[in-house]
Amino acid sequence: MSIPVIIGVLAITFVLAYVVGNPLAIYVNERTPPQAIDQIIRHHGLDQPLYVQFFLYLRNLVMGDWGWSDTANSYVVDAIRRFFPATIELSIVAMIIAVLVGIPLGIVSATRKDQIVDHVTRVIALAGVSMPIFWFALMLKYLLYYQFFIWGLPYLPEGGRYSIVTVTYNPVTNFILIDSLITGNLVLFFDALVHLVMPAACLGYLTLAIITRMMRSSMLEVLKEDYITLARSKGLRERVVIYRHALRNAMIPTVTIIGLAFGGLITGAVLTETIFSWPGLGRWAVRSILTSDIPSINAFTLLVAIIFVSANLIVDLIYGALDPRIRYG
């Protein structure tokens, strides 16, 4: 199921990089001597037919030769190794916030349908879906950083992953939260956590909105089922009915949405990271766009698609755990 998709994804990135636009532009700049161009063409196989080029492209990908990134001033693979953990850390924290807040909100909203809590929740969720995330990020930054600073309140840092000036950090895995715990550096840990608050909250809000809406509607659907009526008529307490009987069934569509929302998170990361100068994939991608750094853009696109597909694969596996009826062989 996901292997043809990955092949398709590879084909699309190949087409975008090598067929549309001039592939030579990747290897040539204004300082390249004209007589070297022929050699470059031959060296990179650009004189070969397209399908051969596609295989060359695949071979390079598998061999770990993803090209040179001007923006990061290193090989693309090294750049990914540097930026990827930052983005994943941010996305996972955002996802945790979204799930921890979104699911209870959805349950509350469904169980108290048409009451004041429900209306408030629905407005929050709807606003989250229709809010431009970059605008929300800038507004948060304006309020929590600038205005709090002016008012003399404890303000949140403007951006970055940790306070570079005051705290030292020696990367091990590049996941700051994990590294600081391993090395027992609690100062760094809390510093990193404080730096995470704003970007993660901002990034999590959209996902939170999506999860809340889905949870609410699927919960409402489930609560109408016969087995819920039966459970209630048996005299079970409402809490047991909701958390033991309804929740598990209502989780299935929600889990699908969470998988899909992971793609939204990466999209959001592109926009949030620029604003909070978060040294992750998204900011790298945006900078490479502005400098037309094609190998970086391609690597980023490919990587995101792979993350997205694997997120959906994981969701499929979680299904089995949630619902024994669709467990895979």
Interaction site with other proteins (CB under 8 A): 4-6, 8-9, 11-13, 15-17, 19-22, 126-127, 129-136, 138-139, 141-142, 146, 263-264, 266-267, 270-271, 274-275, 285-286, 289-290, 292, 294, 297-298, 300-301, 304-305, 308-309
Count of CA atoms in the C-beta half-sphere (13 A) of 275: 22
Specify whether the backbone of 44 is left (phi greater than 0), alpha (psi in -120 to 50) or beta.
alpha
Which is nearer to other proteins, 236 or 306 (by Cβ)? Answer: 306
Residue 128 beta carbon to other proteins: minimum distance, rounded to whole angstroms? 10
Helical (H) or strand (E) element with 188: helix 186-223
How far apart, in whole angstroms, are the C-alpha atoms of residue 189 and residue 196? Answer: 10
Which is nearer to other proteins, 19 or 186 (by Cβ)? Answer: 19
Which is nearer to other proteins, 11 or 40 (by Cβ)? Answer: 11
Residue 245 beta carbon to other proteins: minimum distance, rounded to whole angstroms? 22
Residue 214 beta carbon to other proteins: minimum distance, rounded to whole angstroms? 13
Q: What tokens does 110 get?
A: 């469904």
Q: What tokens does 104 get?
A: 């209870």
* 42 and 25 Cβ atoms separated by less than 8 Å: no
Residue 282 beta carbon to other proteins: minimum distance, rounded to whole angstroms? 9
Q: What tokens does 32 get?
A: 């390249």
How far apart, in whole angstroms, are the C-alpha atoms of residue 233 and residue 226? Answer: 10
Which is nearer to other proteins, 168 or 292 (by Cβ)? Answer: 292
Residue 20: is it exposed, middle or buried by C-beta count within 10 angstroms (0-12/13-18/19+)? exposed
Which residue has 């700049």 as its token pair?
29
Residue 125 beta carbon to other proteins: minimum distance, rounded to whole angstroms? 10
Which is nearer to other proteins, 41 or 286 (by Cβ)? Answer: 286
